[in-house]
Structure formats: structure tokens, C-alpha cells
Amino acid sequence: MQDNESVWLVRAQRGDAEAFSWLVETYQRPVYNLCYRMLNNANDAEDAAQETFLRAYQAINKYDQSRPFPTWLLSIAAHYCIDQMRKRRMTVVSMEEMPYLEISDQAPGPESTLSRKQEQEVVRRLLGTLSPTDRAAVVMYYWYDFSYEEIGNALSLSLSAVKSRLHRARLGMAQDWIDQQPKAGTSERKQHDEIQSPAF
Amino acid sequence: MMKFNHQPFEEWLLSGETLAPEETQSLQEHLGVCEACRSLAGAFQQVETALRNAQQLAPAPGFVSRWQARQARQAARQLKQHRRQTLWSMLFSIGGAMAIFTILVVVFLPLLRSPMPILLALTYELVTAVTFTSEIGGALFTVLRTIVELIPPVQWAAILVAFTSLGAVWVVAMHRLTRRRVLA
């Protein structure tokens, strides 16, 4: 796969449109998924994914083959989505309003008891609590198994900044999860925070 | 009521990294007595499960075809824009050339009607320049000949060696400064 990809990349860098189409075919899903997780809307995700490949096509000669191609490509997608999110305030679209989505046919995890729709709603809500860059870091970490270093390279962040952002994002999502639980849990947590806060 | 300092435990809980055995034990002990951290740990576990179980979404079928069409549209738009820019550049160049030509014609037309004074002035300047150059050359030659006669051959050899050494040092220094640095 890697050797094959290198061949296609070399051909694409020589201006072979067919070779680049092969790359689009291969990476459409990860790019689209990242855009969707970032923008939370199928139409915007489609547009962002298309724009990502256009930008990659125009900059393919600047791509350094010593770097992994997915990291480079997803970096373009993440930066584009972050810009889009900063440009306009995101309007939350409910799942019912979303256009058709094809979901991969992988079987859900054995521990998962939620339906796909509920799962998507939970993930949407969790990611919705994060800032654009934190969201990109979380998506890269959990969906693409990027290392901290790869996330740093993709988002132009230092290693400590990546760790700090992921920590903040995890804390935010966990607290949001707690807040969504029945009132009893929430009040216990709040009460505890009040008691514990002077100790920090 | 007991007060806990659970800052390191919270950090360990959310680090996503493997902890050392003593850290794990310390964390377990803290979780046994700290309801807040236990709650946070449970919530974080649920969050991670939700994120890891969420499937990768795919675009609607025909993504590549749509991309190819979009790429073709953009290429056509860029070509059109490039042609328009080229056309404007040509128009500006032609316009500028015509403007300069018009100015030159207006300024130099009277001179072209009677070229004799210009030719005489040019000839005078040329003769003056040749004469000046010749006199300077003669003066320099005289100075050099005097210097050569004043300095003995041994000193000439020493000067030659000194200049050759300086030249060699300069070449080596330039080579070291300009060669590509290889990072370790």
C-alpha cells in the first residue's frame, strides 16, 4: 500500500490528474470524516473535503515525501475547517435536519448499547463543547490515532501545547458528560467542587 | 470534612498515558476516597468509549466525480483569469510604450529636424573621453614603472607569496561559509 501510494504520489506530483484522483478515492473518507466532525454538518463537510483536495492538488509539489501523506492532507483539512469555524459562528443542526449520510458498515463496539443515531448525537454534543483547534486535536487523536507529535505537526502546535489542549478538551468533555447525567450526580459534583476548590 | 489535593490525580486520569505502578496505586487509593475524581474517571471513560466507538463517516457516493468536476471548473476559471490578466498586461505594456514613444517624439522632434549640433556635441564628448583615458593610462604606467624600479626582486617575491597566501585563506573561508550544512 505504502509503495503503491508513493508511486501515485510521484505521478501526482508530475501533474498526473488520474493519479491524484486515486488519492482522492483513497482518502475521501478520512478527510470527509474529519471535516464532518469539525463542522458538524454534511453539506459543509462535503464542501470542506472538496476544498481540501483542491488545495492539496494545487500544493502537491510542495508536499515533502518524507512526511506521511495522510498527516499532510488532514493538516490541510483541519486548518481549513478551523478557518471556517472561526469565520462564521456555527449553527447547531439537529440530526433530523441533516442530509443523507452514508455510515461505514463496521460493527459497533461490543460495549456500545446506543443506537448509531444516538452515538452520533452524543459525539456531536461532546465535540460541540470544544474550541476549533481542540476539536481538531481530539478528532486526530481518537479517529486517526495520531501521536501527540503528529498532531503538533498537523496543527502547527508544540508538543506541550498539544498535551495541554487535549487535557483541557478531555476535562471539558468529561464535565459535560457529568452535567448531562441526572441532577443528583451534578449536584454531588458541584458540592464536591465547592468543598475541594480551596485545596487546589 | 476531608479536603483532597486531587490535581495530580486529575492530570493522571486525563493524560491518556500509561502510568508508573506507584502512580497507579496512588491513583487507585485516591479514587477510593474521592467521589469527585471517581465521577470524573467514570465520565472520562464513557467519553473515550463514545469517541472510540463512533464510526468514521463517509461522503455520499460519487465524491471523486464531484471533485473532478469541481477541479475542472476551477481550472477553467483560473485559465480565464490568467488570460484576462495576460490581456490586461499586454494592454498596459502597449499603452505604456505608446505613451513613452509619444513623449519622446514630442521632446526630440525639434532636435531631429536639425541633427548637426547634436552630432558635433557627441563627437566632442567622445574625443574628450578618449583623451582623458589615454592621459590617465600614461600616468599610471609611469607610477608603476617607478615602483617596480624602487622595490628589489626579493621583496617582490615576498609580496607575491603574501598575496597568494591571503587568496588561499579567502578561498577556504568562502568554501566553509557557503557549503551546505548537514544537520546531525
Q: What pLDDT digit, counting tens, does each position of A11-61 carry?
A: 999 989 899 999 999 999 999 999 999 998 899 999 999 999 999 999 999
Closest CA to A83 of A48, A50, A53: A48
Contact B35 A192 (CB under 8 A): yes
Confidence of residue A102 (pLDDT cuts 50, 70, 90): very low
Residue of A173, A175, A179 best to disrupt the B interface, most CBs of B under 10 A: A173
Residue at grid coordinates 626579493: B154
Chain mean pLDDT for chain A: 81
Average of per-residue pLDDT across B146-150? 87
Whether A21 and A12 have beta carbons less than 8 Å apart is answered as: no
Statement: residue A181 has pLDDT above 80: no
Residue A104 gets the label, from left (phi > 0), alpha (psi -120 to 50) or beta, of beta
pLDDT of residue A193: 47
Write down the pLDDT at residue A1.
Answer: 58
Which pLDDT does position B179 carry in this prediction? 67
Listed in sequence order, the DSSP H helices in chain B are 7-15, 21-33, 35-53, 63-113, 116-150, 153-178
Mean pLDDT of A2-7: 80
pLDDT band at A197 (very low <50, low <70, confident <90, very high): very low
According to the model, what pLDDT value does residue B15 have? 84
Burial environment of residue B97 by CB neighbours within 10 A (0 to 12, 13 to 18, 19 or more): exposed
So what's the pLDDT on residue A148?
93
Q: Which residues of chain A have a CB within 8 Å of the CB of B6?
A: 196, 199
Q: Is B46 on the interface with A (CB under 8 A)?
A: yes
Residue A182: its pLDDT value, please? 65
pLDDT at B44 over 70: yes
Q: How many CB pairs under 8 A join A and B?
A: 146
Checking if the pLDDT of A186 tops 50, the result is no
Q: Looking at per-residue confidence, does B175 or A34 come out higher?
A: A34
Exposure string for B141-167, b = 16+ CB within 10 A, e = fewer: eeeeeeeeeeeeeeeeeeeeeeeeeee
A99: closest chain B residue by CA: B60
Q: How confident is the model at residue B184 (pLDDT cuts 50, 70, 90)?
A: very low
A153 Cβ neighbours under 8 A, 6+ residues apart: A67, A71, A75
Q: ipTM strictly over 0.85?
A: no
Q: What residues 4-23 of chain A have any CB closer than 8 A to a CB of chain B? A: 17, 21
Provide the residue type at B86 as one letter: T
CB contact under 8 Å between B74 and A54, yes or no, is yes
Residue A26 at interface with chain B, using a CB cutoff of 8 Å: no
